[in-house]
Amino acid sequence: MTASTSITQVSALATHTALSVWTLANNFLVVLVLLAAFFLFAWRFGRGPFVALMLSLYAGYAVYGVFPYLSLLPAAPAQTVFLAHVGVYAALSFAFFLILRRVIVSDFLYIGPFGLIALSFLGAGFLIALAAHAFSVTSVYQFTPQVAAYLVPAKYFFWWFVAPAVGLFIFAR
């Protein structure tokens, strides 16, 4: 085997590996972006505000579910409907975040780096599943088949919905 053949094989292997990693990352890009956003939020603002954010997502959805003025929101086109409903949910979640931030103090709260990554992943999965089921994001954005297979089916919605709460129970000390 000549040196040029060996270099060609190594180059082909490196190219194939890089393309495989890029394809995998591209398929799960929406999950990775949300995971990074949650992780950076916790890293920048602390564990207490991160826990308040996770809990405010639940409280915001609870109030959104009984919000009496959803019928006043636009009914078409699909993108406007999606943005209006997400806007109401975001406003309600933000209000609960402000309330919970005053209540949750981080003096005695500890979440390690692994727990923080796991909770960020679970929070990302929760938001994607919620967007797919409560806000019909699929009419505006098409998930890759790999993401859709794990996060969008109705049979998994309950598990993604409770996953951040279970994660907080396990990882927050």
pTM over 0.75: yes
**pLDDT attached to residue 107:** 58
**pLDDT attached to residue 15:** 65
Q: Which of 79, 24, 40, 56 is nearest to 126 (CA)?
A: 56
Q: Averaged over 69-89, what is the pLDDT?
A: 88
Does the structure show a pLDDT above 80 at 93? Answer: yes
**Is the C-alpha dihedral spanning 143, 149, 153, 158 positive or negative?**
negative
**pLDDT bucket at 96, cuts 50 / 70 / 90:** very high
Which two tokens mark 66? 């009984």
Does the structure show a pLDDT above 80 at 94? Answer: yes
Rounded CA gap, 31 and 152, in Å? Answer: 12
Q: pLDDT, tens digit, for every residue of 99-117?
A: 998 887 665 678 889 999 9
Q: pLDDT, tens digit, for every residue of 13-48?
A: 666 565 565 666 667 888 899 999 999 999 999 888
Q: Where are the domains of the chain?
A: 28-171
Amino acid at site 105:
V
Rounded CA gap, 95 and 51, in Å? Answer: 15
Q: pLDDT, tens digit, for every residue of 50-73?
A: 999 999 999 999 999 998 888 888
**Is the C-alpha dihedral spanning 110, 125, 133, 151 positive or negative?**
negative
**pLDDT attached to residue 17:** 63
In percent, the amount of the chain with pLDDT more than 70 equals 83
